[in-house]
Structure 1
Amino acid sequence: MKKKFYFSVVCLLAAGSLMLVSCDKDEKADVTKPEIELKAPKEGAVLKIGDEHGVHFDMDLSDDVMLKSYLIEIHSNFDNHTHTKSGDGTVVFAFKKSYDVSGKRNAHIHHHDIKIPENATPGKYHLMVYCTDAAGNEQRIPERNIVLSKDAPDHDDHHHEH
């Protein structure tokens, strides 16, 4: 009887030790959100509708362990909700695309993937960027207010090969 009792106590102590070791590992898990430094477009930027070169997008991402992906989203800010203007032949512009940056702790992002078509509805829009690290921690920048306009200056603020 004593052997069964001691065996049970040893098993309970072993199980408890395993749980404490597991808890210790959890405390060291990656809980730090990645960092986003969005350089362009700036807050209040006026972006040209129909610019064949696309929107100049520039940012730096970093994480203490490992990055996974980032998402760019643009949606309208007309009267603080999305709707299509009728009668003028334009279409409310929307953009949502995810990009893989797995295997990197730091990433410099520079591209012109966002193309605003000729028939996009001019007006106020929101730009949002989200970044997720390998552990699933997500960071996002506060919404940036941007304006889509046919009268915006041409995209010639930087000249270099891509």
Structure 2
Amino acid sequence: MKITSLTIGAALLSLMFISCSGNEDEIDTQPPSISMDFAEASPAQCAVFQRGETLPFEAQFTDNFELGSYSLDIHHNFDHHTHSTEVNDCQMDDKKAPINPWLVIEGYSIPSGQNSFRASEELEIPEDIDPGDYHFMIKLTDKEGWQTIRGISIQIN
């Protein structure tokens, strides 16, 4: 009886190892990507927008496994700090202290199971904000938590 129990136990244990080793999941080690390399992409580096108008956002997101979510962060750059991930620099206004700067921090979900997604939002620029230099930050996170950030400098008049 002991030999039969040992044999069955060993067979079950072997079967478990065999079944587990054949189904190893790939590990996601790559961050997602943000593409702005198409005609409708917005905003472009150094783009100028007007208070009281709409700022269109359009970007293409991809990931090797599955996308998670994205967020948009718009904040003033009156002190000339930098987050830019773009190659070219923009003409900037003189440094100044903010009085009523525009601030946007919004998160958006991406439908489950997507490894490609075209993001599109319309952001209303308030009429009463300080004009000047702003940063438009796009933060994209995949399902595993890898994040990519794209920083674009814009001007609001």
Q: What code does the residue aligned with 1:30 have? A: D
Aligned residues between the structures: 125
What corresponds to 1:125 in structure 2? 134
**% identity of equivalent residues:** 28
Report what 2:74 is aligned to.
Answer: 74
Where do residues 71-150 of structure 1 align in structure 2 (5 Å cutoff)?
71-80=71-80, 83-85=97-99, 91-103=100-112, 104-112=114-122, 114-141=123-150, 143-149=151-157
TM-score by length of 1: 0.67
Structure 2 unaligned spans of 5+ = 1-12, 82-95
**Partners in 1 of 2:136 and 2:79 — Cα distance?**
16
Structure 1: stretches of 5+ with no match in the other structure: 1-13, 86-90, 150-162
CA contact (8 A) 2:78 2:98 kept: no
Off by >2 Å, runs of 4+ in structure 1: 80-85
Q: Cα RMSD over matched residues?
A: 2.7
| 1:111, distance to aligned residue in structure 2 (A) | 2.3
TM-score under structure 2 normalisation? Answer: 0.69
Q: Distance in 1 between matches of 2:65 and 2:115?
A: 6
